[in-house]
Amino acid sequence: MTRVQPQSLPRRYTLSLSCPDSVGIVAAVSSFVADAGGWITEASHHADEVNKRFFMRQEILADSISYDIDAFRSRFASIAHDFSMHWRIADSAKKKRVVLLVSKQEHCLYDLLARWQSQELDIDIPCVISNHETFRGLVEWHGIPFHHVPVTATNKTEAYAEVARLYDEAQGDVMVLARYMQVLSPELCARYHGQIINIHHSFLPSFIGAKPYHQAFEKGVKLIGATCHYVTEELDQGQIIEQDVNRIDHSDKVEDLVRYGKDIEKAVLARGLRYHLEDRVLVHGKKTVVFK
């Protein structure tokens, strides 16, 4: 199929880091970039006074740097060592490879495919993995490989080993659970720590299990919402990337709640994924710093 071509944007490097807070971090990093001829187009930083930790993100025009990204990494390493930094630098010329996992609910899959097709999300989708055959036709119509990996009570070890194999084969950068209704194994979560993003309704743990919107309707809730978070070994306890809510009232039917909930889930997942792709999310313990 034909995809919409995006307007060309200047190539940029994104430097993100966290380290123990101290005097001179901003000056050291900014001086390093300036000495390389770097033109900083966006800069954000945050000091966590409770944990005494510092977070920073900078976007730099790639063509303004007098050497390539590998040399940048090599030369910046000494500053990173001096300040005990956890850091990374990404190149916008290298598209992130997003592997989607889905079950039988279509709304998040449809939304992400539309954003990919229109280049609103400038990513590669090397494949879609599902425990059902439901969306094979849709995915393959988009020209994307579809892999059916059934998951049962007796084959989970083998199934998740196959998911890992497909993800590695696709050279994935991030795995998105676009309403994938299976609990990933602790081994898979640990292996791809910080690389798996999930979306779910914000009712957990109040309305756990089947039909959460029906349960919420019966309780007469006044707000519904969604949470985008990283997947960890502890179910639905990963670091939160993005959330949103929608106010409802007594006139809304359960069908309205389901519809509102799907709309919020799509928007929150897309925003959370974008923040991750743009290296705007820095994780510290059970929390995140998200530079928007």
Q: Active-site positions?
A: 236
Q: Which two tokens stand for residue 254?
A: 């359960």
Q: Which two tokens stand for residue 191?
A: 């292996």
Torsion sign (Cα): 158, 164, 170, 176: positive
Cβ count within 10 A of residue 164: 17
DSSP letters, 200-267, are EETTTTTT-SS-HHHHHHHHT-SEEEEEEEE--SSTT-SPEEEEEEEE--TT--HHHHHHHHHHHHHH
Which letter does DSSP use for residue 94 in this model? S
Q: Which two tokens stand for residue 197?
A: 């993003």
Which letter does DSSP use for residue 82 in this model? H
3, 71, 82, 126 from 116: Cα distances, Å: 9, 32, 40, 12
